[in-house]
Amino acid sequence: MSDLTKTLADEPDVIAPDGLQVRILSIGEKGSMAHFHLPAGKTGRAVMHRTVEEIWYFTEGSGAFWRDNVIGGAPMEVSPGLSLRIPVGAKFQARAGEAGLSAIAITMPPWPGEDEAVLVEGYWKPDL
């Protein structure tokens, strides 16, 4: 396969700063796409992105997702079929239900590197 085609890997390519498992799917000039997974019953660390925005589409499992700038800062239930946007500078955090939580996300522009995500105070205490 070329760099234009990729199959979802069995193992994560990297662990994101929030603790979620990341499987990189595609990286283009104007955006990147990855599969994110949070194991069953786990709560990720809260982060904020300095320069990128993301659009997430939940594909498996269930859980809750907190964004400090949405619904008065209250967490929302998430499950397959739901899409949400994380604007630049928004604080956010994910919590998985009993079956874990998986999503496909697009990052625009492409993920710039290690310094992009900043750990912040979240809604829940993380356990990763």
Rounded to 10 degrees, the C-alpha dihedral 60/113/2/104 comes to: 10
Whole-prediction pTM:
0.93
Predicted confidence pLDDT, tens digits, the chain (128 residues):
557 888 999 999 999 999 999 999 999 999 999 999 999 999 999 999 999 999 999 999 999 999 998 777 899 999 999 999 999 999 999 999 999 999 999 999 999 998 999 999 999 999 98
Q: What is the pLDDT of residue 52?
A: 98
Give the type of residue at 56: W
Q: Report the SS3 class of residue 12.
A: coil
**CATH architecture of structural domain 24-119:** Sandwich (2.60)
Q: What per-residue confidence (pLDDT) applies to 70?
A: 77
Q: Where are the domains of the chain?
A: 24-119
Q: How many whole angstroms separate alpha carbon 63 and alpha carbon 28?
A: 30
